[in-house]
Amino acid sequence: MKISAPAKINWAIDILGKREDGYHFVDMIMQQVELYDYITVVENTENEEIKITCNNPKVPIDSSNLCYKAASLYLTIAGIKTGVLINIEKNIPIEAGLAGGSSDGAAVLKALNKIYKALNEEKLLELGAKMGADVPFCINGGSARATNIGEMLKTINVDTVYHLILIKPNFGVSTKKVYNEYDLISKKENSRNSQNVEIMIEKGNANNLASKIGNALEPVTFSLLPELKDIKESVLESGALNAIMSGSGPTIIGLFEDENSAAKAQDILKKRYPDYFIFKTKTIV
């Protein structure tokens, strides 16, 4: 069975505090976009091993891969004694803040449940939460407000397509380092870079959304990687209504009024950043 695994971006991120277990309380608006990995899952008829193949050599194919963890968890909970063969066609850049790994793991859970039909939707979401905070959203898809550590979801109904440019530099950023630095700054200054996440994606045009997007982690990641601020400014100069960093970075997203303006910006930005991943896409509604 072959299933698509869409990338995820954030329209808004606010950090509300830190739990004793190290996770952070967050308030976010998350959105899937039309940039896909493709996951193929078939039963291993030779033995009970879980085997992974991938077209990207930088992706681990051992038990550290979320696809492996998803298959192992599902088969154990469902009481199914079989192995599976998983192929990952990787198109979403890694270490990008686009939830590629989480989306791949979610796709494995969904594929296995279509094959074996052993779990209900609630149980599938529970398994996803055990794998990572983004996985339940990747199971549900679409648009949602995420709270607690990101696993408590409230679906947002969107009937407007937004046109985007994603720019992923050829370097990554440590999510743990970004959050640690955020904590240090917040404690030192006795304040936090608050974002108003009381936003909903409204009916209408991109201008309605552009004025509302914001990411509380941006100043921290930009201080660690100043080049990202330059990229954001370049995106704005290319004609974007607004721009935002996705997750803890390093991907920068430009929001455009229509497909033509996004295409023109893509041409400009590809010349400026020829070695970076630059992709024109749109939201999934």
Q: Which residues are designated catalytic?
A: 8, 134
C-alpha angle 19/23/27, rounded to 5°? 90
**Which residues make beta-bridge pairs with 25?**
17
Question: CB burial class (10 A; 0-12, 13-18, 19+) of residue 130?
Answer: middle
CA–CA distance, 70 with 2 (Å, rounded to integer): 16
